[in-house]
Amino acid sequence: MPGYFSAMEKQGFEELLFAHDASTGLKAVIAIHSTILGPALGGTRMWPYPTEEAAVNDVMRLARGMTYKAAMADRDLGGGKAVIIGDPCRDKSEKLLRAYGRFVDKLGGRYITAEDMGIGEKDLDWVRQETAHVLGDSSQGSPSPFTAYGVWRGIKASARDALGSDSLEGLTVAVQGLGGVGSRLCEYLAGEGARLIVADLDPEKVKGAVSRWAAKAVAPEEIHARECDIFAPCAAGGIINELTIPQLKCRIVAGAANNVLQDRACGAGLMNRGILYAPDYVINAGGLIYVDSIRLGLKDPDEIRRVVGRIEQRLTHIFKRSAAEKQPPEVVADLMAEERLQSGAKAAPTETWA
């Protein structure tokens, strides 16, 4: 398609694959950004994209983010992602997902898939019937609790840097999105005594949060503008943009969503307003760490949480370097990821972040 080769060259992509199966109606795009450090790992997202171009743009952005996420998480992995064009509530079926699994299998392990929006553990069970290159199915468990744990630890690092203490007791946190990660994050926050403001497109999830944690419910389109200490986006990306930045009434933006910033200029916009941003692919890497740990045979959840907990030290290092170099945190994170990619170095047995 016009422009895709130039985009691949500019962003360093290795492969962009289009998969179609006439019998099931499958239309999927698999993007492999990099395999410098290892096989490309990234979830499969199913979404009713308005155009094919929107689907390709999304998968490329997500795949590149996975490369940086793996590099910053010190995993010997590359970055990839896949999208299936369709409504997961209406178009998803066993036949479609098994057809998709056959396409993944043809890549011979260069791409390993996992769950993402619209695709869950049971869906991956169908994919696994056609390929071994899948992680996070029902036999392995969902990575969401580990993503939430890492985000919680990352929020504590952010609070320590911006507010002077890592205690969240008494702070107000606005959580946008109450899916598998957002709801688990609320458990950690409420358990520490934080006050919650919540929003989700599913009113039942909102009712549950209000009942369970005495959270205050607001409309999804309003939550970013509510007065709070920390805004935690845990839904779709692009919530931080030129329109929403002036509306923010928080000191910290730190959540589980991917591609929180609509573009690079938004990071500078947050910094200019004195709002600390925890780079998304650093703070939300707990799920990737979990599935890669399972791939490598590490199954002790306490040990995996210990590794995920390093996200706190990682962010602290980024914030210190950001202040010293007077660069937004996401710029510093990108530089650190690129340094590792350029060296092609495998992860060290132990990790220290000063």
- Residue boundaries of the structural domains of the chain: 4-67+75-128, 144-285+313-340
Alpha-carbon distances, residue 145 vs 60, 174, 198, 256, 321 (angstroms): 26, 19, 18, 11, 29
What is the distance between the terminal CA atoms of the chain, rounded to a whole angstrom? 46
φ, ψ for residue 112, nearest 5 deg: -115, 125
Q: Is 299 a catalytic residue?
A: no
Same fold, 4-67+75-128 and 144-285+313-340: yes
Owner of token pair 């992995």: 77
Owner of token pair 């790992």: 41
**How far is the C-alpha of 325 from the C-alpha of 169, rounded, in Å?**
31
Return the amino acid letter for 68. Answer: Y
φ, ψ for residue 173, nearest 5 deg: -120, 125
Q: By three-state DSSP, how is residue 345 classified?
A: coil
Handedness of CA 280, 73, 185, 236 (dihedral sign): positive
* Contact (Cβ atoms closer than 8 angstroms) between residue 333 and residue 279: yes
> Is 144-285+313-340 assigned to CATH 3.30.572.10?
no
Catalytic residue among 69, 81, 156, 249: 81
CATH of the domain spanning 4-67+75-128: 3.40.50.10860
* CA count, 13 A, side-chain hemisphere, 199: 18
The helices-and-strands tally (H runs, E runs) of the chain is: 13, 11
- Closest by alpha carbon to 81, among 63, 93, 97? 63
- Closest by alpha carbon to 183, among 219, 210, 156, 223? 210
Walk along the chain (354 residues) and give the pLDDT tens digit of each residue. Answer: 458 899 899 988 999 999 999 999 999 999 999 999 999 999 999 999 999 999 999 999 899 999 999 999 999 999 999 999 999 999 999 999 999 999 999 999 999 999 888 998 899 999 999 999 999 888 888 889 999 999 999 999 999 999 999 999 999 999 999 998 999 999 999 999 999 999 999 999 999 999 999 999 999 999 999 999 999 999 988 899 999 999 999 999 999 998 899 988 999 999 999 999 999 999 999 999 999 999 999 989 999 999 999 999 999 999 999 999 999 999 999 999 999 998 876 665 444 443
Alpha helices in the chain (DSSP H): 4-11, 52-72, 94-106, 121-128, 144-163, 180-191, 203-213, 264-272, 280-283, 286-295, 301-308, 310-325, 329-343
pTM of the model: 0.88
Beta strand 252-253 pairing with 276-277:
parallel
| Predicted confidence (pLDDT) per residue in 191-231, tens digit | 999 999 999 999 999 999 999 999 999 999 999 999 999 99
φ, ψ for residue 96, nearest 5 deg: -65, -45
Q: What is the DSSP letter of 174?
A: E
| Predicted confidence (pLDDT) per residue in 110-153, tens digit | 999 998 889 988 999 999 999 999 998 888 888 899 999 999 99
